[in-house]
């Protein structure tokens, strides 16, 4: 009986031990006491990242030495890097400058003649002499004067770096009324500031035209005086070593023998006039080239002074004043589409003088208008001068003048 009870006790004991082991496995594990549970161990790479964030390196400012980090998990506080203070750096900002210089009129030189309502394209060639690059945000901007139907602004089409040139163009329309017109333009930068040419980049560049006035618009009526050269009664026929005037077959014939000599003229015998329109018809001879020239002397107070206006054989005109010793140009040689160039060509020259206003005409169209008060009254005459042609000949077919407002 005792032996049977011992056998039952052993299984029971084993079951109890098994149950206890299961319970023990589910009990919480004992935790170590941490001095600073919030500070995990950091690697040297993490420390380096923190230091770099606090002080970004530059080419002249090296990173501080790396702090020493304990390699055992002692849970010590995060080590602090000692940073060496550096001087405060001041960033210097350099602003570029906008400045232009005028190079040339690509189209439409000053005083170009247009008929009323004619459309034309004005092109200026400018150079960027500043330090800013001109971008498509820059604009050609109207500044003052007569806009002549043009826009307020024209955007640039590309980039213009310093020292480069650019052609700026604008479409314009000649006014309907006769006269001289001028429009000034500047450049507007990307930030809206206007600049132009000149020492301080504050001067505009411009377009200046004349709207053609036809002689028929003057409504002159019959001439006050005229001559068709049936005889020489109205002229002093000069004859010098280089120039000779003669009358033949209804023409006054002017001849210059040698090229390169000064112009010479012969005066009419009629009295001095003040305000007038004078018109002369010339025909060039078989040879006529370059600056071979012919024209009129007007408002001459004596035989050796006055205003001199003439055409050249290459289709140009010039106006100057002469006091017997000094030459002063009011308009240097300038091309005109209305003047017919070459030999055996007919051109009608017109000169209007009214007080201080002087107007020049070629074949009935206005060439230009000028203001000068040097000579207010005088006689008139005809001149010839050779630049390239031996025995240069010009025929004067008729001449007339109209008094206006005397």
> For 120-137, what is each residue's pLDDT tens digit?
999 999 999 999 999 999
Instruction: Give the phi and the psi of residue 403 in degrees, each rounded to 5.
Output: -75, 135
Tens-place pLDDT, residues 205-256:
999 998 876 787 788 899 999 999 999 999 999 999 999 999 999 999 999 9
User: Could you identify the residue written with the tokens 């498509």?
Assistant: 136
More confident residue, 143 or 28: 143
CATH class, domain 100-212, is mainly beta
Please, which pLDDT band fits residue 19 given cuts at 50, 70 and 90? very low
Provide the Cα torsion 404, 271, 235, 341; round to 10°. -30
Query: 19: Cβ–Cβ under 8 A, 6 or more apart, which residues?
Result: none
Are 296 and 353 within 8 A, CB to CB?
A: no
Greater pLDDT, 1 or 354: 354
pLDDT of res. 378: 98
- Strand, coil or helix: what is 103? strand
140 or 11, greater pLDDT: 140
Residues 6+ apart with CB under 8 A from 55: 61, 63, 64, 83
What is the mean pLDDT of the segment spanning 9-38? 44
User: Cβ of 261: how many Cβ atoms within 10 Å?
Assistant: 15
Q: Which CATH number is associated with domain 218-403?
A: 2.60.120.560
Mean pLDDT lowest for which of 32-36, 50-54, 282-286, 311-315? 50-54
**Residue 57: its pLDDT value, please?**
39
**Mean per-residue pLDDT over the chain, rounded:** 83
* CA–CA gap between residue 167 and residue 105 (Å, rounded): 9
CA distance 236 to 299: 17
DSSP category for residue 52: H
Nearest CA to 139 out of 131, 125, 129, 151 is that of 151
List the single range of 48-62, 200-214, 218-232, 390-404 with lowest mean pLDDT.
Answer: 48-62
Residue 122 token pair: 């004005």
Please list the residues that pair with 395 across neighbouring strands. 253, 283
CA proximity to 238, closest of 213, 257, 259: 257
Does the pLDDT value for residue 403 go beyond 70?
yes
pTM exceeding the 0.85 threshold for the entire prediction: no
What is the rounded CA–CA span in Å between residue 160 and residue 101?
13
Q: What is the pLDDT of residues 319-352, one digit of tens each?
A: 999 999 999 999 999 998 889 999 999 999 999 9
Each domain of the chain, given as residue ranges in start order, spans: 100-212, 218-403
């Amino acid at each position: 009986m005792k032996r049977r009870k011992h056998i039952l006790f052993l299984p029971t004991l084993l079951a109890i031990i098994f149950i206890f082991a299961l319970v023990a496995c589910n009990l919480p594990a004992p935790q170590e006491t941490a001095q600073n549970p919030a500070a995990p161990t950091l690697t040297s790479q993490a420390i380096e990242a923190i230091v770099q964030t606090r002080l970004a390196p530059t080419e002249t400012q090296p990173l501080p030495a790396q702090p020493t980090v304990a390699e055992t998990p002692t849970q010590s506080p995060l080590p602090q890097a000692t940073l060496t203070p550096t001087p405060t750096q001041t960033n210097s900002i350099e602003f570029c400058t906008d400045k232009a210089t005028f190079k040339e009129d690509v189209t439409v030189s000053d005083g170009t003649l247009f008929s009323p309502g004619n459309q034309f394209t004005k092109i200026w060639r400018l150079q960027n002499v500043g330090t800013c690059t001109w971008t498509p945000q820059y604009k050609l901007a109207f500044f003052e004067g007569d806009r002549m139907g043009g826009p307020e602004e024209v955007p640039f089409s590309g980039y213009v770096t310093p020292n480069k040139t650019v052609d700026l163009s604008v479409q314009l329309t000649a006014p309907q009324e006769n006269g001289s017109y001028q429009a000034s333009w500047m450049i507007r930068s990307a930030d809206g500031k206007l600049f132009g040419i000149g020492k301080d980049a504050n001067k505009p560049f411009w377009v200046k035209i004349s709207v053609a006035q036809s002689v028929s618009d003057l409504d002159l009526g019959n001439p006050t005086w005229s001559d068709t050269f049936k005889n020489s009664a109205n002229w002093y026929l000069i004859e010098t070593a280089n120039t000779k005037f003669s009358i033949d077959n209804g023409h006054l014939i002017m001849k210059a023998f040698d090229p390169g000599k000064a112009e010479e003229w012969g005066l009419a015998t009629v009295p001095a006039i003040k305000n007038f329109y004078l018109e002369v018809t010339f025909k060039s001879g078989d040879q006529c080239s370059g600056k071979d020239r012919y024209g009129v002397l007007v408002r001459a107070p004596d035989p050796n002074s006055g205003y001199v206006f003439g055409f050249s054989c290459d289709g140009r005109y010039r106006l100057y004043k002469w006091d017997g010793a000094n030459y002063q140009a009011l308009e240097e040689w300038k091309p005109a589409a209305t003047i017919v160039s070459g030999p055996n060509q007919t051109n009608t020259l017109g000169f209007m003088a009214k007080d201080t206003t002087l107007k020049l005409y070629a074949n009935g169209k206005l060439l230009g208008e000028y203001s000068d008060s040097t000579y207010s009254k005088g006689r008139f005459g005809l001149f010839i001068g050779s630049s390239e042609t031996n025995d240069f000949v010009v025929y004067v077919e008729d001449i007339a003048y109209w008094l206006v407002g005397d």
